[in-house]
Amino acid sequence: MSDRKGSAFAGVGVAIVTPFTDGKLDVAKLKTQIEFQIDAGVQFLVPVGTTGESPTLTHDEHERVISEVIQLASGRCKVMAGTGSNCTDEALRLTRRAQKEGADASLQVAPYYNKPTQKGFYEHFKAIAEEVGIPHCVYNIPGRSAKNIEPETIAKLAELPNITMVKEATGSLDQCSQILNMTNLTVLSGDDSLTLPMMSIGAEGVISVAGNIVPKDMLALVQFAAQGDFRSAAKLHHKLFPLCRDMLSLATNPIPVKGAMKLLGRDSGQLRLPMTELEESEFARLRMVLENYGFRL
């Protein structure tokens, strides 16, 4: 384990989907998902992130999913609760509640749509870190949030004791290098296909979407990389790369991963509008991607 601030979360976290049946949260399916991940050996679970369709959940549902995951995991793995928002007061409320429920950390997405200044980013995350005393992971995903949290801002945030991690999803190895160079934060990949390249320069793991279906392979890749066995890690990277690229390029996450779970007999129910299911032709392509990976469907 490194001496970086968030190394307790080194390894594989899985951004789990939220299962719906008849439009409502399906706790039985959620339990099945969690047992699948714990059996695989993942280090932590991340409920109600983007993959968990957090933008379409009511506040009550959001809080309930976090509570259910914490209770169902029952200390067998850590839980990093997605409690970010583009409204600082809302993020504070959700994060306080997650702390009360027993979350081990929070995932704080960059405020989206309203596009704050760098000072606004800093003040937003500072307010949360000073108010809620669990570790926080800053989630930088400009492709969704419409604006980058610059490395200089992240370096300033790293001075706050409770800001311990960054989920780095800019797609830029230069930005990843800058953060690692300028701070003692733990960096976690926010893109499955960039996990190995990022770990080769000092990142410590991934918050994975593909881990919903192939957690053991993601774990093996991260473990090999953490041990410095980059030859073995590269073999797994090249096995996983077509799956991550071709599955996640079919449609916006979590549409394709929910489709994959359905094809694999692990149906997580419907998507919520405005997310819609894959078209038949896209399902056919997804089937081929899964079969090429080695699944028998």
Please identify which of the residues 5, 139, 147, 258 carries the catalytic annotation: 139
For the question of residue 167 being annotated catalytic, the response is yes
| Tens of pLDDT, residue by residue, the chain (297 residues) | 578 999 999 999 999 999 999 999 999 999 999 999 999 999 999 999 999 999 999 999 999 999 999 999 999 999 999 999 999 999 999 999 999 999 999 999 999 999 999 999 999 999 999 999 999 999 999 999 999 999 999 999 999 999 999 999 999 999 999 999 999 999 999 999 999 999 999 999 999 999 999 999 999 999 999 999 999 999 999 999 999 999 999 999 999 999 999 999 998 889 999 999 999 999 999 999 999 999 998
Residue 269 has a pLDDT of: 87
Residue 266 backbone phi and psi in degrees, to 5 = -120, 50
Answer for the pair 37, 193: CB distance below 8 angstroms, yes or no: no
Helix/strand/coil for 146:
coil
Map out the domains of the chain as residue ranges: 7-230
Sign for the CA dihedral angle at 267, 48, 179, 7 comes to negative
pTM for this prediction: 0.96
Residue 10: C-alpha distances to residues 7, 112, 121, 215, 258 (Å): 5, 26, 25, 15, 26
* Closest-CA residue to 217 (of 196, 240, 193, 198): 240
Q: Strands of the chain (E only): list them.
A: 11-15, 20-21, 24-25, 44-46, 78-82, 105-109, 136-140, 163-168, 186-189, 205-208
Identify the CATH class of 7-230: alpha beta
Structure tokens at 208: 């994975």
For the question of residue 139 being annotated catalytic, the response is yes
Nearest-angstrom CA–CA distance, 144 and 113: 9
Residue 1 has a pLDDT of: 55
Tell me the HSE value of 178 on the side-chain side, using a 13 A CA sphere.
Answer: 14
Residue 3 has a pLDDT of: 87
Please identify which of the residues 5, 29, 78, 167 carries the catalytic annotation: 167
